[in-house]
Amino acid sequence: MTSNLQHANSTLPDEIQHIRSPATRDDRCDDCPPSLSVGSKLCSSFSLRCSLDPNPETKDPFGRLPWFGLEELLLHLPDLPTLHQLCQASPAVSDYLNHKIGFFPKLVERIIDQWDHERGLSEDTRVFFRTLVYLWWKEESVASGIPSDDNPLPVSFHDELVYSINIAREGFSEPIKVGCIRLPHSTPPKILRYLLSLTSRIRGDAHAFFHDAMTLCLSADIQKLENRKSPWPKNGTRPPGIPVHIGTREGGYPPTWLEEQRLMQAFLKPYIFSVLRRIVCEKRLLNTNSPPPGTKFPHTLMYLQGNLLIDFWRTFACYGWMRTEPIEQLETVLSWMHENKSRKRAANFTICCPKFTSLSDCQRSRGLDNLQHIHLPGCFFAQNCSAVPQSGVKIAGFRGEFQRFGVSFWDNERMLWLGLALPRMDRYLERKDLAFRWSSLLLSANRDATKSTGKTNGLRFRNKTKPISIGNKVLTHGTSEVCKAIS
């Protein structure tokens, strides 16, 4: 008697031949699990790859998985760049996402919303990516003539859903943004492929900057005061110092989830601004005739039309008090991009750090709803360094000379590890020691840059003037010059 398995194997070639037949090809996909009798209900190319044929035409191993196994695998991917890499490596995965209606946007939402500080994206990063999807969708719909009824993008730029893109949301119920709306099931796969490509690019840029900055920090000869009570004459030589022991980990440890989110947001802002200018100002796909919503930021459209990138994003992270960390971070990546525009970024930066550095218990206890929390002393220590004016650190901070080290992005734990922060920073002797450390960081980096390039300048400084000397003889600067440097 022939067993059921033998009978199934004997009928399998006929089923595969039926699926391959052009006359019976069906590119639709549904939720029915594939079986020998209903295998043709899957899209033909994917059904073929999922067959039990011992000699399949494709060598793609993912194409041999059942549909439910493949979906389960995809739903547990850690991030969108990983999904992008998988789509590039596996035609079966790409084909399934293109044909299985509604699963692609569901998958993207699942990946970006699994927020556990090891996976997923912060709220504002999710808002940025969804907003870009809706803007691209609008642009594609107008170009192709295909209606996009499910696209939540409003017809007017002055609708608060899109007008408030330059105001952070982090943990607040307002403002309501179009990027807060989850991706509809009808989101075109073509648009989501754009998104995957962009996430890989943004992550690659973020990690390229991270490794550049960390390499620069670790190569610098950071020194601390040998004796914190040693005098530091206003116009004399620097007191003696000794090296700060940082550690032996090559390239520094990987970024934390918080640090990567700050970097990604900073790199996304110029891109979002560019897309908005193209859609609103050049193609005029959104109406700008209606009055702006009742807001204390009435000049958003003017900044967009005037190509004023920094002013457009200056309102970000304004919670009744002005937080300027995001602007410092934006200026930092703009300077880095300007200096590296002719350098080709290595592709391995997209996959260089498969895991984040774990967050400390102290970081978790402070709460993680706000990326720009007050426990980032490195960001503006230089600008607030008034304890030892002769160190030159304060003026150099206003000029953006520490931006090349990425200090505005790093958690306090990383700053402590680098020796650029101390457990206590509120007493004079600690601030004096820190001023010495930061000035030695700048001196060492400038010295190394001069040896390698013959130039004394590092990154492009925000006011495009010569760097301030912080050597043995320190230049004195009045209040007017400080204000000029800030502007």
pLDDT of 94 above 70: yes
pLDDT digit string, tens, across residues 101-156 = 999 999 999 999 876 667 889 888 999 999 999 999 999 999 999 999 999 999 99
* Mean per-residue pLDDT over the chain, rounded: 77
Residue whose C-alpha is closest to residue 198's, from 136, 153, 142: 136
pLDDT value, residue 34: 37
pLDDT in tens, 438-460: 999 888 766 555 444 444 444 44
Say if CB 130 and CB 183 are below 8 A apart: yes
Between 259 and 57, the higher pLDDT residue: 259
pLDDT single digits (tens) 5-63? 343 343 333 332 333 333 333 443 333 333 333 333 445 555 555 554 555 455 788 98
Mean pLDDT along residues 305-313: 93
- C-beta separation of 135 from 283 below 8 A: no
Query: Out of 32-36, 186-190, 471-475, which region has the weakest mean confidence (pLDDT)?
Result: 471-475
The domain spans of the chain are: 62-209+261-319
Q: Which is more confidently placed, 64 or 169?
A: 64
C-beta neighbour count of 460 within 10 angstroms: 17
CB-CB neighbours of 386 under 10 Å: 10
> In sequence order, what DSSP letters do the residues of 188-233 get, joined into one string?
-HHHHHHHHHHHHHHHHHHHHHHHHHHHHHHHS--EEESSTTS---
Q: Which pLDDT does position 81 carry in this prediction?
A: 94
Give me the percent of the chain exceeding a pLDDT of 70. Answer: 70
Q: What is the DSSP string of 17-65?
A: HHHH-GGG------SSPP-TTTGGGS-HHHHHHTS--SS-S---GGGGS
pTM, full prediction: 0.78
Burial status of residue 371 (CB atoms within 10 A of its CB: 0-12, 13-18, 19 or more): buried
What integer is the mean pLDDT of 294-320? 82
Q: Two tokens at 288?
A: 């700008």
How far, in Å, CA of 396 to CA of 394, rounded?
A: 5
